[in-house]
Structure 1
Amino acid sequence: MKIKLLALAAVTAVGVVAIKPPATAHHAFSAEFDANLPVRLGGPITRVEWINPHTWIHLENNDPEATRDPGPWMVEGGTPNTLLRRGINRNSLELGQDIVVTGYQSKDRLCEPTCRANGRDITFPDGRKLFMGSSGTGAPRDGSDASEPGQN
């Protein structure tokens, strides 16, 4: 009995250690992005990375109302599954399609190697506006996400 209990404890410990690195590899919003640097970006989609743990939408920022540098930007969104539940799928994000994204710039203001932002809302050409951000990562609670506490 004592040997079985010891073996179970060893297997449990190995399991915890085995899953810990992927869990700690995921970053918090505040590790990469600055809540004091809101951005508005707009322009054609140039690439979409529909991957875990975050989707990435690449766009050429040429919006006259943009609040940051023109040129190529990478915008981080929620997981593919999260976006699907919010009504965004691969077919929603067509190359060349003009979109407007609001969110927060990365802490790297020099944009090296590229300009990056964490997206909150995406607005499509037909006027649809959807929350594309990641909930629960420490991002500012600005009311964009209906699942945030206090939102309906």
Structure 2
Amino acid sequence: MIKMGKKTLAAFGTATAVALIAGASYAHHAFSAEFDADAPVLLEGTVTRVEWVNPHTWIHIDVEQEDGTTQPWMVEGGTPNTLLRAGLNRRTLSPGTDLVVRGYQSIDRLCAPACKANGRDVTFPNGEQMFVGSSGTGAPEDGADPTE
């Protein structure tokens, strides 16, 4: 067994806490690392599923193309807790729900297996609009984030 003095133990505890916080910060990416502020998208589609997972929710929608085919999109939202506090839940974002999503496309532009976007807000058929993004990630100040 290794014996440590109080100062050594406190320093070790502080170093461990700093390492854990740094790891968590690194894991939560900045907007610009994955999405393009110069590539806004407006998607009209139908929810196929929602992944209520940390650190971001993923809203999957099928968007009908001009030729009649559908293109699947994965829309990144804020944390599940953020969306729940905003009033969204499994019932409001259930499969079959029609949405208009405003956001920004991924920087890689790849659409396999689905196109990706960072969602800023969603509009429901009744006209209700809700913010679904993450605050403080460096996303463009576009008026969607109520904390801006």
TM normalised by structure 2 equals: 0.88
Tell me the amino acid that sits aligned with residue 9 of structure 1.
Answer: A
Structure 1 pair 141–9 and aligned structure 2 pair: CA distance change class (3 A)? same
CA deviation vs aligned residue, 1:13-53 (integer Å, no higher than 9, x gap): 12322343222111000000000000011111111001111
RMSD value, Cα: 1.9
Structure 1 pair 134–91 and aligned structure 2 pair: CA distance change class (3 A)? same
Identity %: 61
Query: What SS does the aligned partner of 2:5 have?
Result: helix
Alignment partners' CA distance in 2, 1:135 and 1:63: 31
CA deviation vs aligned residue, 1:86-143 (integer Å, no higher than 9, x gap): 1111211110111110100001113234200000110112211111111110000011
Give ranges in structure 2 of 5+ residues lacking alignment. Answer: none
Give ranges in structure 1 of 5+ residues lacking alignment. Answer: none
Instruction: Output aligned runs, 1:1-152, within 5 Å.
Output: 3-62=5-64, 70-148=70-148
Alignment partners' CA distance in 2, 1:96 and 1:63: 17
Alignment partners' CA distance in 2, 1:134 and 1:126: 24
Query: What SS does the aligned partner of 2:81 have?
Result: helix
Query: What SS does the aligned partner of 1:35 have?
Result: strand
Runs of 4+ in 1 over 3 A off after TM superposition: none
